[in-house]
Structure 1
Amino acid sequence: SKPATAQLLTRLEQDDVVTKAGVRGGGRGPRAQLWEVNGGVAYVAAVDLTPHVADFVVSDVTGAVLAEYQVPLPVHEGADVVGSFGAALTQVASEAGLATKDLRHVVIGAQGAFDPRTGLLSSAPHIPGWLGFDVPSRLSQELGVEVTIENDVNLVAIVEMTVGQAVGLDDFVMIWLSDGVGGAVVVGRRLLRGATGGGGEIDW
């Protein structure tokens, strides 16, 4: 009902989730109040690990990009990965006027298989320091922000299913041609990762 909707919008406005965005007229009756999501209610970061560089992006919850930063791919062993990666994340957050603690979540897309049983990355020879090493947990502890790592093609499949060519499709297979041949399988709008995280992969 209109009263219930108005009450809900008022509560969301009080919590800074939405803000007024002008009015729309032209039709019969009073002009309509427009609303929009307050992008500043939450901030996130995404990192694309390519074979040579790491691309960092910070955006608000609406997807508006606030800052971008690129560094040579940190391929070092063990704790060096955490230090170099954390420094780059701090830099891009700073360029967006934020601290790392202001980020709600960090998602890392990487070539290779992310094993859901162990939380470790495998089959990623271009970043040897990340293999068999729980980078997300270490980064979360060091930076105080939740970190998730996922296969890059799986992330692309999720995007395509949400706002791309696969919108409305329940089942599809995506093939990705780059430095290797990657793939992702979606069945019933659910990403199939496989027992060891290699579901859909063809070759690296």
Structure 2
Amino acid sequence: MPASPSTARAINDRLALRLLQQEGPLTAGQLKQLTGLSRPTVADLVERLTVSGLIEVAGESGEQRRGPNAKLYGIVADRAHLAALDVRTEGVAVLVSDLVGRVLAEASVPIGDDTGTGPAVEQAVSLVERAAKEAGADGLHTVAIGAPGLIDPVSGELRVSTGLPEWHRRLMAALHEKFPEARIGVENETNLAALAEQRDGAARDRDTFVLLWLGVGIGAAVVLDGTLRRGVSGGAGEVGFLPVPGTSGLPSATDCDGGFHSLAGAEAVAALAAEHGVTAAPAGPEPHAAALVREAVRRSATVPAAGEFLDVLADRVALGAAAVVAVLDPGCVVLAGEVGLAGGDALADRVRARLARMSPLAAEVRPGALGGGAVLRGALLTARDRAQDELFGPPEG
């Protein structure tokens, strides 16, 4: 059955808006060429989208002749302002962008372990307010939050966890109160990192892969056939709890000590570095473990102990990676997070060699390209997609 005229218009509008979002300002002639639509249809949709306030004339194409096709049309970027948050146990980082994802302001604030719930929430909300003001935003259309822990698949909220500070769960409600018109959602930080690495990073050519997050904590994100898999309870990828050899005990339902986290989390990596005499000065806000790994990579060719440290670390990482590969057969494992970025090809190559010996299933191992910034980037992409879906209409098909 052919689409109704209104449905056809909606599909055409959506196609044109997506092209403008991906390619930047285009002329009507370029839209005609890229969409395959007729000249009158393109003229109608340009007028319709202009009247609706979604696109505007953004300049001229530089063509010699003048006329309608010489005008460049672009998305009205300030139609909506978006915020992306990366919420960690030790602080919050925020970006505020326009509708096309151009970053207008960014800021961060540390929040100490001894900070009470109320003051911590107030600091985080104030940070978002200041960033929005700096960006010139009267309000926020969409807010996407990346946080550690399990996300309830029904309510979309952080589940109660003894391992996370209470202010994490209170933050979402406080942001709703401060920005009542905003659409606010929270997603597991590792899942957002996988989205960012797939769209802009190391997994751009992969529809199926597993991202292994190596940072303060340990986690994994599973992308199968282009779809992020969260699991029945939202906990797919909680590999920090994975029982592995080499630990002093077993993890429990409320504590991942004794699990894979005890071998490859930042604290364990720092202790392993100390055993091998690897030292490094702290490098800003990133985990000290990342600085240690980066220094070991730099010195591994000339200092045997540094290479030995990387070898043992690769042994540990390969244990968790092998379990994931055996169950999912993803064909590709991305070592992400600050430690994954610091280890680069030196760590990835070591893990790949060990996996080849441990598993009959072929798996490429790549270092992540975005490091700790992947969570914030993924949150921004999520906020942009959600805002555009609402303003432009849902994707066709």
- TM-score, normalized by length of structure 2? 0.45
Equivalent runs, 1:140-159 vs 2, <5 Å: 140-144=176-180, 145-159=182-196
RMSD: 2.8
Question: Residues 64-107 of structure 1, C-alpha deviation per residue, up to 9 Å, x if partnerless?
Answer: 111112112376555555433222211111111223xx211111
User: Which whole-Å CA distance do the structure 1 matches of 2:206 and 2:129 have between them?
Assistant: 38
User: Which whole-Å CA distance do the structure 2 matches of 1:74 and 1:38 have between them?
Assistant: 40
User: Which whole-Å CA distance do the structure 1 matches of 2:107 and 2:162 have between them?
Assistant: 23
Q: Which residue of 1 aligns with 2:217?
A: 180
Q: Which residue of 2 aligns with 1:136?
A: 172
Q: Which residue of 1 aligns with 2:105?
A: 67
User: Which whole-Å CA distance do the structure 2 matches of 1:157 and 1:104 have between them?
Assistant: 24
Equivalent residues of 1:105, 1:146 under 8 A apart: yes
Equivalent residues of 1:19, 1:38 under 8 A apart: yes
Relative distance call for 1:35 and 1:165 in structure 2 (3 A) is farther
Larger Rg: 2
Equivalent runs, 1:32-181 vs 2, <5 Å: 32-73=70-111, 79-99=118-138, 102-118=139-155, 119-123=157-161, 125=163, 127-130=164-167, 133=169, 135-144=171-180, 145-167=182-204, 169-181=206-218
User: Which whole-Å CA distance do the structure 1 matches of 2:120 and 2:234 have between them?
Assistant: 22
Counterpart AA for 2:165:
P
Q: Which residue of 1 aligns with 2:328?
A: none
Equivalent residues of 2:220, 2:239 under 8 A apart: yes
SS where residue 3 of structure 1 aligns? Answer: helix
Relative distance call for 1:122 and 1:169 in structure 2 (3 A) is farther
SS where residue 185 of structure 2 aligns? Answer: strand
Equivalent residues of 2:91, 2:111 under 8 A apart: yes
SS where residue 157 of structure 1 aligns? Answer: helix
Identical-residue share of aligned pairs (%): 33
Q: CA deviation at 1:32?
A: 4.2
Q: Which residue of 1 aligns with 2:47?
A: 10
Equivalent residues of 2:97, 2:105 under 8 A apart: yes
The answer to whether the aligner puts 1:190 opposite 2:223 as a matched pair is no
User: Which whole-Å CA distance do the structure 2 matches of 1:161 and 1:124 have between them?
Assistant: 31
- Where structure 2 has 5 or more consecutive residues not aligned to the other structure, the ranges are 1-37, 241-260, 262-397
Equivalent residues of 2:219, 2:238 under 8 A apart: yes
- Where structure 1 has 5 or more consecutive residues not aligned to the other structure, the ranges are none
Q: CA deviation at 1:151?
A: 1.1
Counterpart AA for 1:56:
V
Q: CA deviation at 1:58?
A: 0.5
More strand by percentage: 1
Q: CA deviation at 1:185?
A: 0.3
Q: CA deviation at 1:2?
A: 1.4
Q: CA deviation at 1:128?
A: 1.2
Relative distance call for 1:77 and 1:63 in structure 2 (3 A) is same
